[in-house]
Amino acid sequence: MKHDTPHILLVNPWIHDFAAYDFWAKPLGLLTLASILRHHGFNITYLDCLDRFHPKASQADPYTRHGRGPYLKTKIPKPGGLEDIPRNFSRYGIKKKWFREDLLCIKKPDLVLVTSMMTYWYPGVQETIGVIKEIFPDVAIVLGGIYASLCHEHAQNYSGAHHVVKGSGEKHILKLASDYTGFSVKAKFNPDDLDTHPYPAFELQRKITYIPLLTSRGCPFACKYCASHFLNPKRMVRNPESVVQEIKYWHEKYKVKDFAFYDDALLVNAGKYAVPMLEGIIKSGLKVRFHTPNAVHIREISKQTARLMFQAGFKTVRLGLETTAFNIRNELDVKVTAAEFEKAVNSLKEAGFKKELIGAYLLTGLPGQEIKSIEDSIKTVRQNQVIPILAHYSPIPHTALWSRAVSSSRYDLESDPIFTNNAIFPCQDERFSWQTISHLNNLATG
Ligand code: B12
């Protein structure tokens, strides 16, 4: 039987939160699946509820430094259980009316794919799916992504999607699309070999102000606060030359200047991967900038890697330090020692990085964490002439720290992922006060 080429709609949902900003945040996974589907002959439409450049938006040009920028926002009521948080709560992204109008303008799809990111952003996913159902009541909606993987049962019960998929999508997407549309194709790539995957379809966006790059999947470490192992149990690495080709592609075809690495442990095994990649970038002579919002692996910052990073054009260097309580850090992870931190910072400075370009993430709000230990970490980082950046801890199901987080929280974390929002410091006990947070913020920025 011959079928017309099916039409698949892919949607990046709204964010509901106390704060959100496009800090180089794009749905890389969803756009990878869009690219695969397109390469296999499916018709694709992409709607981005977080589009900062929607034609109906009055903001003249929300383009800011290095490609980042603010989302449009609409104040909405706080979710149940968080009414007492003394901050506004908003839907980040385009107006609901515009999303409805955009859906009405497109051809009725045969299947809708929706992605999800943070566990505590699920109300935005629910609302997005609700609007899609209103417009296309008889079209199947499949949900995947990080919330769908980490809170699978919750997503099955409450997201409104007809089907919820766990884990990486590459292996299943063609089968899934064929099951729903009857259009079956033979895979032209190997899901287990990243070098055979097509580039994510960033060109589906209205504007490309930066490109996220992923040079590997998974992480060789098993930090107790992190879900990387659960999300990507298998470590896979790209050929450094193919990463350089991808950077050239986006720069030459779309004039992209800013690139953000999304790797969990960029620089791990640097001699084999990052070093040849950085050398390739330098040799290509491209005038582009690199950012590491997801942090780099401190132990691998040597004089050589620091020099190459500087020459290649790294402009935002974030170090995954997490704490300087080095004596207790083995409880958390085994990523770095005090001497390694100092060595990394010295190498970066010697290579030419100014203080303003280097930030060290410090986890704040861990179960049982004493304020004094955060204050000490901030001081140590500042003494090293590096900017301390407080990364508020979000407890994540399927991590080693989850059960401790559940028992130390003043919320019932297991009852609702809304309570895993890092903005509410869910693992601080009853003595928690907003003054403490502003005191720590002042110390960090002071
Ligand atoms: C890159 C990244 C970021 C980026 C932004 C990414 C974005 N798009 O918004 C930055 C650096 C800005 C960021 C920030 C933060 N992040 Co982050 N981040 C990641 C990271 C490392 C990778 C995500 C990614 O793009 N992966 C690559 C793509 C290819 O994978 P994917 O999106 O999962 O998609 C695949 C599958 O999920 C599936 N899929 C996806 N969509 C769909 C749809 C369908 C229909 C189907 C079938 C399949 C499918 O197929 C895709 C391809 O395989 C993850 C960890 C991880 N390894 O996943 C943490 C992670 C998501 N982040 C996390 C955290 C804690 C944070 C912060 C709170 C950190 C902090 N304390 O400051 C902030 C919060 C940001 C905010 N409030 O705005 C947590 C999640 C917390 C939670 N409760 O949900 C994670 C899991 C890391 C961890 N600690 O374990 N992050």
Chain segment 235-282, per-residue pLDDT in tens: 999 999 999 999 999 999 999 999 999 999 899 999 999 999 999 999
The answer to whether residues 168 and 305 belong to one domain is no
Average pLDDT, the chain: 94
* Average pLDDT over every residue of 135-148: 98
pLDDT at 113: 98
Q: Is residue 191 part of a domain?
A: no
The answer to whether residues 271 and 125 belong to one domain is no
Provide the CA 445 distance to its chain's centre, in angstroms.
24
CA of 182 to the centre of ligand 1 (A): 31
CATH number at residue 382: 3.20.20.70
Higher pLDDT, 446 or 309: 309
The pLDDT confidence band at residue 332, using thresholds 50, 70 and 90, is low
The answer to whether residues 236 and 349 belong to one domain is yes
The answer to whether residues 234 and 348 belong to one domain is yes
Higher pLDDT, 46 or 374: 46
SS3 (DSSP) at 64: coil
295 lines ligand 1 (CB under 6 A): no
For residue 24, report the phi and psi dihedrals to the nearest 5 degrees.
Answer: 60, 45
* Average pLDDT over every residue of 348-369: 94
Task: Tell me the C-alpha distance between 167 and 175, whole Å.
Answer: 15
Higher pLDDT, 440 or 63: 440
pLDDT at 321: 84
23 lines ligand 1 (CB under 6 A): yes
The answer to whether residues 77 and 143 belong to one domain is yes
Which residue do the tokens 């280097």 mark? 358
The answer to whether residues 377 and 247 belong to one domain is yes
* Average pLDDT over every residue of 124-146: 98
Chain segment 184-232, per-residue pLDDT in tens: 999 999 999 999 999 999 999 999 999 999 999 999 988 899 999 999 9
pLDDT at 108: 97
Check pLDDT > 60 for residue 333.
no
Check pLDDT > 90 for residue 171.
yes
Q: Is residue 337 part of a domain?
A: yes
Check pLDDT > 70 for residue 59.
no
* Average pLDDT over every residue of 172-178: 97
CA of 103 to the centre of ligand 1 (A): 26
Taking CA atoms only, the protein residue closest to ligand 1 atom 91 is: 294
The answer to whether residues 166 and 258 belong to one domain is no
Chain segment 376-388, per-residue pLDDT in tens: 889 989 999 999 9
Which residue among 181, 199, 229 closes a domain? Answer: 181
CATH number at residue 105: 3.40.50.280
Q: Is residue 199 part of a domain?
A: no
8 lines ligand 1 (CB under 6 A): no
Q: Is residue 192 part of a domain?
A: no
129 lines ligand 1 (CB under 6 A): no
Is the distance from CB of 164 to CB of 430 less than 8 angstroms?
A: no
CA distances in angstroms from 35 to 121, 168, 170, 171, listed in the order given: 25, 15, 10, 14
Q: Is residue 1 part of a domain?
A: no
* Average pLDDT over every residue of 75-88: 96
The answer to whether residues 361 and 441 belong to one domain is yes
pLDDT at 62: 67
The answer to whether residues 243 and 366 belong to one domain is yes
Q: Which amino acid is at 300?
A: E
* Average pLDDT over every residue of 343-347: 95
Tell me which residue range forms the domain holding 275. Answer: 210-445
Q: How many domains does the chain have?
A: 2
SS3 (DSSP) at 161: coil
Check pLDDT > 80 for residue 104.
yes
292 lines ligand 1 (CB under 6 A): no
Is the distance from CB of 366 to CB of 427 less than 8 angstroms?
A: yes
The answer to whether residues 261 and 400 belong to one domain is yes
Task: Tell me the C-alpha distance between 314 and 292, whole Å.
Answer: 8
The answer to whether residues 32 and 107 belong to one domain is yes
The strand pairing partners of 47, in sequence order, are 11
* Average pLDDT over every residue of 12-36: 98
SS3 (DSSP) at 368: coil
Q: Is residue 413 part of a domain?
A: yes
pLDDT at 2: 45
Which residue among 181, 198, 219 closes a domain? Answer: 181
Q: Is residue 24 part of a domain?
A: yes
* Average pLDDT over every residue of 335-363: 91
Two tokens, residue 88: 């506004």
Pocket test for ligand 1, best of 51, 92, 146 (most atoms within 8 A of CB): 146
The answer to whether residues 154 and 215 belong to one domain is no
